[in-house]
A = this chain, B = another copy of it.
Amino acid sequence: MSEIQSLARGLRALDILEAETDGMGVTRLARRIDIDKSTASRIMKTLAIYGYVEQSSETRRYTLGPRLVRLGQSLLNRTPLRDQARPYLRELVAQTQECAHIAVRASDQVLYLDQVEATASLRVSTGVGTLAPLHSTALGKVLLAFGDNRLPELLERFTPRTITDADTLRMHLEQARRQGYAIDDEEFSYDVRCVAVPLYGLDGELVGAIGISGPGARLTLSRIHDLALVVSRVGQALSDRLAYRHEDQPSDGGDV
């Protein structure tokens, strides 16, 4: 009773269109959502009015609309973290030759705010805006270990190494707190390892995490622990910067 059908259907239409790069007609959309095409037509028209989808005047197919770019960007820009972090991400890439990310917590997931890719041809890339689970990524573990440490209900398995037992995870988090950094040893994707450290804001509260990730062959466990020092240093530098930021200081790429 508390879920509004027509709204939910509109949102599902957006979800479906996200996967369909070439757009989709009303008839096919209606089949996917399992509603009548007349209903789908009205729903899509409403979405179009508000710019959430666009209809090609030729093919009459619907695609996601520019409004969504704006909304997403508005959300990303909301956190000053992102602007300030860029040069530090680049610094990390320069020092480690691996892909660098920052992320914040979004409810029970990790939201990747930004990334700078390594130049090596073999590299790991997680799209900006991607959501990932807290328990099986280095950035997520940092957010759990140093911030709100209530664990997600369900610890889903992604690889054989994913930690699915709450107590084991708590032990890992404890170790991360002691070490000052968290790692992900092929727990989310095969052959991908990561290491991440916390970022603190003005009042010393956790605001996010920064880390690097790379292919397992290059990023061995022993190298991970070496690089943890580099990541910590850069993370500390960024935290320092976040701690005393001047309101009107242009956030040009400061050196690390």
Mark A residues whose CB is within 8 Å of B.
1-12, 14-15, 18, 21, 42-43, 45-47, 49-50, 52, 54, 64-66, 68-78, 106-107, 109, 111, 117, 119, 121, 123, 127-131, 250, 252-253
Q: Which residues of B contact A6 (CB under 8 A)?
A: 4-7
Considering the chains assembled together, what is the distance between the CA atoms of A70 and B131 in angstroms?
A: 8
Considering the chains assembled together, what is the distance between the CA atoms of A140 and B203 in angstroms?
A: 44
- Count of identical protomers in the assembly: 2
Considering the chains assembled together, what is the distance between the CA atoms of A212 and B242 in angstroms?
A: 30
Q: Which residues of B contact A50 (CB under 8 A)?
A: 8, 11-12, 15
Q: Which residues of B contact A45 (CB under 8 A)?
A: 2-3
Nearest CB of chain B from residue A247's CB, rounded to whole Å:
14
Nearest CB of chain B from residue A21's CB, rounded to whole Å:
6
Considering the chains assembled together, what is the distance between the CA atoms of A250 and B65 in angstroms?
A: 28
Q: Which residues of B contact A47 (CB under 8 A)?
A: 7, 11
Q: Is the CB of B64 within 8 A of A74?
A: yes
Q: Name which residue of chain B comes closest to A19, CB basis.
A: B74
Q: Which residues of B contact A52 (CB under 8 A)?
A: 11
Q: Which residues of B contact A253 (CB under 8 A)?
A: 119
Other than A11-B50, A54-B106, A123-B250, give 18 A-B pairs with Cβ distance below 8 A.
A2-B45, A3-B46, A3-B49, A4-B42, A4-B46, A7-B9, A7-B43, A8-B50, A12-B50, A15-B50, A64-B71, A65-B106, A66-B129, A69-B72, A69-B75, A70-B131, A73-B130, A121-B252
The 3 A-B pairs at the shortest CB distance, nearest first, are namely A72-B72, A73-B129, A66-B106
Q: Is the CB of A111 within 8 A of B69?
A: yes
Q: Which residues of B contact A49 (CB under 8 A)?
A: 3, 8
Q: Is the CB of B68 within 8 A of A71?
A: yes
Q: Give 21 CB contacts A-B under 8 Å.
A: A2-B46, A7-B10, A8-B49, A8-B50, A11-B46, A15-B50, A18-B70, A21-B78, A66-B75, A66-B111, A66-B131, A68-B71, A69-B129, A70-B129, A71-B71, A71-B72, A73-B128, A73-B129, A73-B130, A119-B253, A121-B250
